[in-house]
Structure 1
Amino acid sequence: MNSRMIGRRSFLTSGAALGALALATGCAPSTRARRTSATAGGLPLTVVNRTGRYAGGSIFMYVVGVDPATGTQGRVTADGRFVPCAASDNGSGGQTDYAIPLQGSGDTTLVLPKMSGRVYFSLGDRLRLRVVTDGNGKPALQYPAGWVKTDPNYGILHDWIEFTYNDAGMFCNTTMVDMFSVPLAIRLTGARTQTTGTLVAGGRDQIFAAVAKQPEFARLVAGDRLRVIAPGHGIEAGLFPADYYDAYINEVWTRYQGTPLTVRTDAGTFTGKVTGDRLTFTGGSRTPASIARPSTRDVLFCDGALAAPNDGVTGPVAAILGAAFNRSTLLSDANQPVTDAARFYRTQVTNHYARAMHEASQDGAAYGFAFDDVAGHASYIQDNAPTSVTVTLTPF
């Protein structure tokens, strides 16, 4: 994902241990507000309800995130204002009410201020968001964790998109990195018109069926097709085997003890070989840090041994390796990244969750894991001169 966004890679694990997600610093519309970019100094957002199941008045939107100028966390009101969150926002039940109901009929419009964050949608019920105190003693929003059974939002049908809107433009994506529940599509207009996230006809049912078909993944389907939980979170919940990738990882480590692994990045081409438990690279003007043997959890979260620091060298190498593990291309090709999607997910041990997301997408793009942007396969679009953005809740 573009480095100007908070991005998928920053959202992944900060809230898992807490059972909810608080955005790290750095990271609508009113059903009635109809302002323009010129008058509000923001980006017009239109929300379209095409679920076919839920009336607009029973769908609730939340625009939440970070003001990049101050690092303050907050939410956007129905009239397009960014308002910092405060502990006093928690009502008598200990939760906020930041909901903006969609129009009962017609589209819902709002103007996005410059910020980074998420647009959540909950269907049939309001989300239970809460203001907490972060490690620096500042107010922070605690987000839903639909993969945690004890989370107050677990039983609520909800999903979200992510975005950064700033002086450089609009950068946005749909995401399935944590879970998939509600089919959402984004249309971004500006220098050109782009769309992403649209599923094929019956795509939601197709995703649930494809995940349920794989024995190790079947338990990731929550409730009566309420959502599908990503396998990394499935490990945490005891729903997915923590050693799923272990044999594959061991095969990779064995192969590259004697065979060089070539990784091409914008910073140069590097050659790696395994010595002991570490994959060490040479080549280029700067040398990436060696990478330890990852665990299954590291692969699925693209974290731990596969964490990608923003250093321009080790980060790109780790991202490419993370993508190759999830797509299961490391045993079939010693030259990475593999860019042809037809060669992804061809082995039995692979990320069948991510595969299901891509196969159900009209354009083949999806954010099924954190490094799905490697070689441009993520449901991510950007425009440096945006004029409007539309989010559609598409048919189930």
Structure 2
Amino acid sequence: MVTRRNFLGAGAAAIAVPLLPRRAFAATPARFNLALLNASGQNTAFAYVTGFDNGRPVFVRADGSAYYPPSPSAPVTPLGADCAIPLGANGSTVRVSVPRMYGARIYLCIGSRLDFYVNPGPAVVHPSFLNTSDSNFNKNWTFAEFTFNEYELFSNISYVDFVAAPLGLSLRSLSGRVETIPGLPAASLDPICYSLQQQATQEGSAWNSLIQRGPDGRNLRAMSAHYQASRFQDYLTGYIDACWNKYRNTTLTVDTQSGFGVLTARVGGDNLLRFNNGEAFAKPSTADVLSCDSGPFSLGGASDVRKAIIPRLAAALNRTTLLDNPNQPNGEVASRFYRNAQTNHYARLVHERLPDNRGYAFPYDDVTASGGPDFSGAARSGDPDTLTVTLRALR
């Protein structure tokens, strides 16, 4: 099964658990229809579809043709073709035929085109929200993600990097099934930024450092907390310490929801959370929890069973449910997420505004109880017909 954590590929998202055995079913169509609905309130908007095809970066142009950028002789060479897909006036829909590709993104930008560059390799230089000298930094852009292979089309809305102009997804299958991910409502950014500022003022903390503003001083996007991890220092230390102290005398049970079954753990005299299969976890830092991929949560050299444990521990710590629930993740209930005073308030604020509570606000936001509700905001189909992406107003 594809998840956001394994479809993007190395460097774009962490691989968390082994792929489950695939069911036997007919191959997907060679192409799916991408419908781009401009509901931004603006008459100028552009989309870009880019990903990988057999290891090569590829763009899909407005006519459905593929452009494979050649390897340039120098870094940061402008993309050698116009791959912008004009969305048309507000309220209009543009359709593009998309071939199989993986680790793909659908970028959307309101008011202007995006600039893409290529490094030797070739390797595409994507728009950056971290590099203030990037020509795209002050533009109003956002993205959705997908992978389309012979087994299925997997797509999701992600807030793992930032919140900006909201998107919605709707995936219709050839069989007639429709799966809709509403995403954040229009004009969600300003309320989220206001709440981040209020949280920072209330605590004297760094949540307001996540807010990025444009040249006009207005909110442009809100970053995920792990991009400012150094500003949070020991923000979650008290909570993490309390968890480690609890599990010195209480058994933690983790259902890997895989062939590795249910494991148990306790914190020993060496201060390691040691599982009954031999895997051991040092106490993570705040930065480790927010990133989900450093310290004891690093996937480098991790065994497959460790890759199954990490998401469940990291999710419980981001949601601050590990202290109260020793049966992870099967005892998890969304109403108890983010209730600790110190928690991942970025994720809390995103989920509070999602009409169905579905959307990736941290890398392991797809962790849920067996048979429980989906929190990830992903849609998938083995017989995809049309994926509709709706671009909503920033404010």
Shorter-chain TM-score tier: 0.7 to 0.9
1:122 matched residue in structure 2? 109
In 1, the alpha carbon distance for the partners of 2:364 and 2:4 equals 16
2:219 matched residue in structure 1? 225
Q: CA shift at 1:246, angstroms?
A: 2.1
2:70 matched residue in structure 1? 86
Tell me whether 254-263 or 100-109 shows the greater mean CA deviation: 100-109
In 2, the alpha carbon distance for the partners of 1:163 and 1:351 equals 26
In 2, the alpha carbon distance for the partners of 1:225 and 1:8 equals 28
SS at match of 2:253: strand
Q: Relative to structure 1, is the Cα distance of residues 104 and 71 closer, same or farther in structure 2, using a 3 angstrom cutoff?
A: same
In 1, the alpha carbon distance for the partners of 2:233 and 2:9 equals 21
SS at match of 1:345: coil
SS at match of 1:322: helix
1:57-95 deviation line (CA, Å, top 9, x unaligned): x2121101111xx2111211222123222245999x942
In 1, the alpha carbon distance for the partners of 2:157 and 2:98 equals 17
1:213-240 deviation line (CA, Å, top 9, x unaligned): 21131121111210001111123xx6x3
1:119-159 deviation line (CA, Å, top 9, x unaligned): 001122222221113xxxx2011112213333332211111
Tell me whether 158-167 or 253-262 shows the greater mean CA deviation: 253-262
SS at match of 1:387: strand
In 2, the alpha carbon distance for the partners of 1:302 and 1:82 equals 35
Q: CA shift at 1:369, angstroms?
A: 0.2
1:289 matched residue in structure 2? 279
Q: Relative to structure 1, is the Cα distance of residues 143 and 107 closer, same or farther in structure 2, using a 3 angstrom cutoff?
A: same
1:74 matched residue in structure 2? 58
In 2, the alpha carbon distance for the partners of 1:66 and 1:313 equals 28
**In 1, are the aligned partners of 2:72 and 2:122 still within 8 Å (CA)?**
no
1:274-309 deviation line (CA, Å, top 9, x unaligned): 232421111xxxx36322221212111110221357
1:144-177 deviation line (CA, Å, top 9, x unaligned): 2213333332211111000001111110000010
Q: Relative to structure 1, is the Cα distance of residues 90 and 119 closer, same or farther in structure 2, using a 3 angstrom cutoff?
A: farther
TM-score (norm 1): 0.83
2:89 matched residue in structure 1? 104
Q: RMSD of aligned C-alpha atoms? A: 2.5
Alignment of 1:146-185 (within 5 A): 146-185=129-168
**In 2, are the aligned partners of 1:307 and 1:315 still within 8 Å (CA)?**
no
Paired positions, count: 354
Q: CA shift at 1:8, angstroms?
A: 6.2
SS at match of 1:313: helix
Q: Which protein has greater RCO, CA pairs closer than 8 Å, 6+ apart?
A: 2
**In 1, are the aligned partners of 2:106 and 2:145 still within 8 Å (CA)?**
yes
Q: Does 1:41 align with 2:30?
A: yes
Q: Percent identity?
A: 32
SS at match of 1:331: coil
Alignment of 1:167-316 (within 5 A): 167-190=150-173, 191=175, 192-200=177-185, 202-215=187-200, 216-223=206-213, 224-235=218-229, 240-266=231-257, 267-275=260-268, 276-282=270-276, 287=277, 289-304=279-294, 305-308=296-299, 312-316=304-308
1:179-238 deviation line (CA, Å, top 9, x unaligned): 111100000011410111432465333322222221131121111210001111123xx6
2:51 matched residue in structure 1? 65
**In 2, are the aligned partners of 1:61 and 1:102 still within 8 Å (CA)?**
yes
In 2, the alpha carbon distance for the partners of 1:387 and 1:102 equals 20
Q: Does 1:365 align with 2:358?
A: yes
SS at match of 2:288: helix
Q: Relative to structure 1, is the Cα distance of residues 312 and 333 closer, same or farther in structure 2, using a 3 angstrom cutoff?
A: same
**In 1, are the aligned partners of 2:58 and 2:66 still within 8 Å (CA)?**
yes
2:2 matched residue in structure 1? 2
In 1, the alpha carbon distance for the partners of 2:135 and 2:247 equals 46
TM-score (norm 2): 0.83
